[in-house]
Chain A
């Protein structure tokens, strides 16, 4: 235990501590984030007066009691969390705050990545980052890939878990209608098929298309930072639709503000989403946010392409995983290109297939 700013700092783990924390968060109109790997509390006279948590590499749930506001407690909480993050080997951390409080964190060395307020719900959030290899470095790296390529290019963001004929048709369609096409593969490794396999199968599956560059999505394209509810369940008590909308809007704001200008993208292609409610909210918002444009931000046209169907039902990666789970590999193979089918039969695939059959995970 040590004193920070006259406050006693300790890790919260008892039920009593957690209840006090929940009450403090609620008093500041904040929900319990969920998925925390570390929760810190700051006490004065044995009363919890400030708290903050680490959720992966994201600082979340930072709250300071009204009675000590303005005494620099937010700086104490934030730097205590940053030190814990650094000790855990994180070079970079993200932080969510309310838009009106972003200034506090800017003064603490965070840079603003994107800020949104969703009109329908009134919910708003600012996404910020701190540490090495920030957004400007990433954009410079992306701009190198785009050097000498035509502007007004197309882009598609895909998870491809695994790469199916549906993905193939979408990318084929997009490549035909774009001067150049960038395919960004979601890098977050939370899917049943590991990232390096997903990336490789996309590359192999469209290697015949000449005007396409396949790139890892990196930390700024549908990552646990830009779109946490895509990867984790919305916390109990939260309004799932509103929260999904908020994060989806943030991810799209990141795309519009950073990704599209860095690559010179003018069109974003997306498949229609008949099943997944999260993706369908995302697609709806995309059509409102990307074409808007703004100061220094070129508008991005959105083209929604109907899902490729076979035998009357849409070909999707979740269908392929279901067929594998049900022990129908032949039917699964019929929905994917040869390159993916070959991989599914390889030795490397065995542990992945086993995990699909035994885990309850849908992703």
Chain B
């Protein structure tokens, strides 16, 4: 499903993550990951994000993950919420 609007979830507070999803041209998604613990967990954050994006069916969106040391459950919740909003369902 195509993203229809710009959406964000989460925050930049410590132990949280800010996820923004914006519609882009075409069907592909792009993902950018930034984290204060990138060296340790950057790979894991990316694979979790890719998995959540794939299972949501999102298409044609730029997803930006700005992590401030969130737990994995927090990351998943923020991703799901931002994607739902971008798809116009929440």
Chain A interfacial positions (CB closer than 8 Å to B): 4-5, 72, 75-76, 78-80, 82-83, 86-91, 107-109, 131-132
Contacts and interface: CB of A to CB of B under 8 A. Distances in A.
Nearest to B13: A75
Given A86-B8, A91-B6, A132-B62, A75 B14 contact: yes
A82 B18 contact: yes
A87 B13 contact: no
Given A86-B6, A87-B6, A87-B7, A75 B20 contact: no
Does more than half of chain B's interface fall in helix, strand or loop, or is it mixed?
strand
Closest 10 CB pairs of A and B: A79-B11, A79-B12, A86-B8, A83-B8, A108-B12, A75-B12, A75-B13, A109-B66, A86-B6, A89-B6
Interface in B1-45: 5-14, 16, 18, 20, 22, 34, 36
21 contacts: A72-B13, A72-B14, A75-B11, A79-B11, A79-B12, A79-B13, A79-B16, A80-B11, A82-B12, A83-B11, A86-B6, A86-B8, A87-B8, A88-B6, A89-B5, A91-B22, A109-B12, A109-B18, A109-B34, A109-B66, A132-B62
Contacts of B11: 4, 75-76, 79-80, 83
A83 B62 CA distance: 16
A89 B16 CA distance: 23
Contacts, number: 52
Chain B interface: which size bin?
20 to 34
Nearest to A108: B12
B68 interface: yes
A72 B62 CA distance: 28
Contacts of A5: 13
A80 B18 CA distance: 10
Contacts of A80: 11
Nearest to B24: A132
Contacts of B68: 75
Contacts of B8: 82-83, 86-87
A91 B18 CA distance: 14
Nearest to B62: A132
A78 B12 contact: yes
A24 to B, nearest CB: 20
Nearest to A80: B11
Given A86-B7, A87-B7, A107 B36 contact: yes
Contacts of A108: 12
Nearest to A110: B12
Contacts of B22: 86, 91, 132
Contacts of B14: 72, 75
